[in-house]
Amino acid sequence: MGCVLMNSIDISWPLSAGVTTYKNKGDFKTAATRNWQEHHARESSIYIGSHTGTHVDAPAHFLEQGKTIEHTELSRLIGKAQVIDLGFIETEGITREHLERISLNAPRVLLKTKNSLLDPEADFNPEFIYLEKSGARYLADQGILSVGIDYLGIERLQPAHETHQALLEHDIAIIEGLRLGCVPEGLYTLVCLPLALMGTEAAPARAVLLADQAL
Amino acid sequence: MGCVLMNSIDISWPLSAGVTTYKNKGDFKTAATRNWQEHHARESSIYIGSHTGTHVDAPAHFLEQGKTIEHTELSRLIGKAQVIDLGFIETEGITREHLERISLNAPRVLLKTKNSLLDPEADFNPEFIYLEKSGARYLADQGILSVGIDYLGIERLQPAHETHQALLEHDIAIIEGLRLGCVPEGLYTLVCLPLALMGTEAAPARAVLLADQAL
């Protein structure tokens, strides 16, 4: 999809046959159900994990009584958003200390890290930069509506899923699988639209950043 | 999803287990791959046809040399759009004559018909209101960027797919499977985002209408 800067910036993970999947699960496939040679038309079917590519997690993902994705208000995913460049973090998680230094000016926060440099078709990288629980709690304390990160998970090595817990307990929508390599730090209008799935704990999504003049 | 009018109006077809599918193909299913009882987490897999629910058709659907969905510019699907109320049409297709009476004030056109009254979980209705080839050619002549309709197909009973041909030859993006029952006629900002599929002739999408003040 490249780095074409037009009226909108596509920050979605391209869903190709070789797409990186979480822990190399390989849960993405398309197949032709009608083809040109036989039908003079093309149609396809898609098999996709709910956490494949760009997607939104709802509270039901990690909370026993959590709401499913159709209850995630779209207003959490549409509106003013801040892209924060944390490319200086080499290996560890994003902590409260990292985030406290930054002036938060939007209720939707997109964390740009060196994850965005990874090839979107590479093998899964278990060393990805993640949001550590203290960072998640800090963002929840700030009353944010949603948070996005540029890898297929937002946490790792936290057995009780504390990052997800800290966010989902406040109904904060978690956007995983963004691609922010082409996006300078700053303020944008985010539109992230998950498929209108009923009853699942997450949904694949497409996400763009808009310039105001695009509308 | 109901008729909640907030900052955005969701005009997407809800993807429930019983969702209406084109010609009752039944090409939609979700399954739990992790559940609370065993894993203290929930994950799902999704099987979906590329023409199920709200979706965008690319030229490759019905043109031998047509481009696939990743080449559909998002600018065709984001921006000023006009909802046209054609609820007075009882049975036939939408023709040039129907459309010539209307002042077109936006390059994206959403056709609201009595299809929007149908239950989104009903059996497939082969009598749906469609865009007849003369109407498609008229819209192409006007230079529109995209056209949407409130059923799972935009044409019927036209063996050579003339409606699709007339639109796709001009790279006009076709949005099928909208739900416009709650939307008064008029001008809006459309954001319709298909999944970032690479190489398919269509993609499932989520679509919303925004009020300018939402941004």
The pLDDT of residue A89 is 96
Q: What is the pTM of this model?
A: 0.95
Q: Where are the beta strands (DSSP E) in chain B?
A: 8-10, 28-34, 43-49, 55-57, 78-85, 108-112, 146-149, 173-176, 186-194, 202-210
8 A C-beta contact, residue B144 and residue B108: yes
Task: Give how far B107 is from chain A: nearest CA, Å.
Answer: 13
ipTM field: 0.94
The pLDDT of residue A6 is 44
Residue of A nearest to B48 (CA): A46
Q: How many helices (H) and strands (E) does chain B have?
A: 4, 10
The pLDDT of residue A211 is 73
Comparison of pLDDT for B213 and A98, the residue scoring more: A98
| pLDDT tens digits, one per residue of B53-110 | 999 999 999 999 999 999 999 999 999 999 999 999 998 899 999 999 999 999 999 9
Which residues of A fall within a CB distance of 8 Å from B36?
Answer: 64
Query: Annotated catalytic, A161?
Result: no
The pLDDT of residue A215 is 39
Task: Give how far A95 is from chain B: nearest CA, Å.
Answer: 24
Burial A40-70 (b: 16+ CB within 10 A, else e): ebbbbbbebbbbbbbbbbbbbbbbeebebbb
Hey, is the C-beta of B115 within 8 angstroms of any chain A C-beta? no
Task: Give how far A91 is from chain B: nearest CA, Å.
Answer: 27
Please list the pLDDT of chain A residue by residue as tens digits (215 residues). Answer: 344 334 799 999 999 999 999 999 999 999 999 999 999 999 999 999 999 999 999 999 999 999 999 999 999 999 999 999 999 999 889 999 999 999 999 999 999 999 999 999 999 999 999 999 999 999 999 999 999 999 999 999 888 999 999 999 999 999 999 999 999 999 999 999 999 999 999 999 999 999 754 43
Q: Over 60: is that where the pLDDT of B1 sits?
A: no
Q: How large is the average pLDDT for residues B121-127? A: 97
Q: Which of B10, B39, B45 is the best residue to mutate to test the A interface, defined by the most A CB atoms within 10 Å of its own CB? A: B45
